[in-house]
Amino acid sequence: MGDNLFRIPVGQWADTVLDWIIANLGGLFNVIKAFFQNFYDGLGYILTEPPFWVVILVLAALAWLVKSWKLGVGTALGLLLIYGMNQWENSMNTLALVLVASVVAVVISVPLGILTAKSTIASAIVKPILDFLQTMPAFVYLIPALLLLSIGPVPGIVATIVFSLAPGTRFTELGIRSVDTEVVEAGQAFGASPARILRQIQIPLALPTIMAGINQVIMLSLSMVVIAGMVGAGALGGEVYKALTTLDTPLGVEAGLSVVLLAIFLDRITASLGHTNMPAKNA
């Protein structure tokens, strides 16, 4: 095939911008890397240092408290299977990575969703950005993440945050916009400030939808663990990548099943929290 009639060097422009960021904002990214690394290490320590049965009891009790004894028993059995497959430490490190990424993504996406629900201008600006972040292949923005943050769990965490921002923002915006306008007007009629209406009316009524968004943030974060493993994060993602490159079926099945069990646990917990916080219909 012949050359194009003209060439637009978009990639070169992006490379120039990245070079400028590395040269001028290196200190900022060192701080960001230290924050994420310490957050991840601290949470990983909490999950891996105690005896495995203590962590299983705590997580099973949480599942029982949030939903039912059946989920508690299922959680305990699932975690015992993970331990029996010799994937305990990897699974707890994966759980730490997912929790770090999810917490940061929620802290960013929920306020952003509230902003876009309140402002049509903000919504018009943010939506194309979210579309871009969610549709751009994760491997593409791993390149600048690796250059800025080096090999390890941090680039994987950052890529996971970027990938999972969209559902948290969109579900929050949908939840706030879906609140009955008559209820909001009633609050205004009683002299409530916009901040109080948001805090005491809109957020409580939108909470089931917001929690559905948080659930999707966590599920998308778990879907990124393999990519995180490819850039040195290790844990279950590293095991899956190792199994793929060595064609090790037993290792792939055990690591993949561990990811599935963690996903089921986190999905049921967040779904139950959203259901628990639903306003009573007869109230």
The per-residue pLDDT for range 82-132, each reduced to its tens digit, is 999 989 998 999 999 999 989 999 999 999 999 998 888 988 999 898 888
- The pLDDT, as a whole number, for residue 283 is 36
Residues 167, 220 contacting (CB under 8 angstroms): yes
- The pLDDT, as a whole number, for residue 281 is 41
Is residue 227's pLDDT more than 80?
no
Which of the two residues, 31 and 228, has the higher pLDDT score? 31
- The pLDDT, as a whole number, for residue 2 is 54
* Helices 88-118, 153-178: inter-axial angle, 10-degree rounding: 40
Mean pLDDT in residue range 207-222 = 88
107-146 burial, b for 16+ CB within 10 Å, e for fewer? ebbbebbbbbbeeeeebeebeeebeebbeeebeebbebbb
Distance of alpha carbon 17 from alpha carbon 29, whole angstroms: 15
Is residue 181's pLDDT more than 50?
yes
pLDDT tens column, 57-89 = 999 999 999 888 888 999 999 999 999 998 999
Is residue 241's pLDDT more than 50?
yes
- The pLDDT, as a whole number, for residue 73 is 92
- The pLDDT, as a whole number, for residue 23 is 79
24-276 homologous superfamily: MetI-like (1.10.3720.10)
DSSP secondary structure string, 145-193?
Answer: HHHHH-SSHHHHHHHHHHHHHHHHHHHHHHHHHHS-HHHHHHHHHTT--
Is residue 147's pLDDT more than 80?
no
Q: To the nearest whole percent, how much of the chain has pLDDT over 70? A: 95
Domains of the chain, by residue range, sit at 24-276
Is residue 3's pLDDT more than 70?
no
The first and second tokens of residue 275, run together, are 């259901």
Torsion of CA 196, 197, 203, 204, to 10 degrees: 90
Is residue 268's pLDDT more than 60?
yes
Mean pLDDT in residue range 24-28 = 79
Distance of alpha carbon 240 from alpha carbon 262, whole angstroms: 15
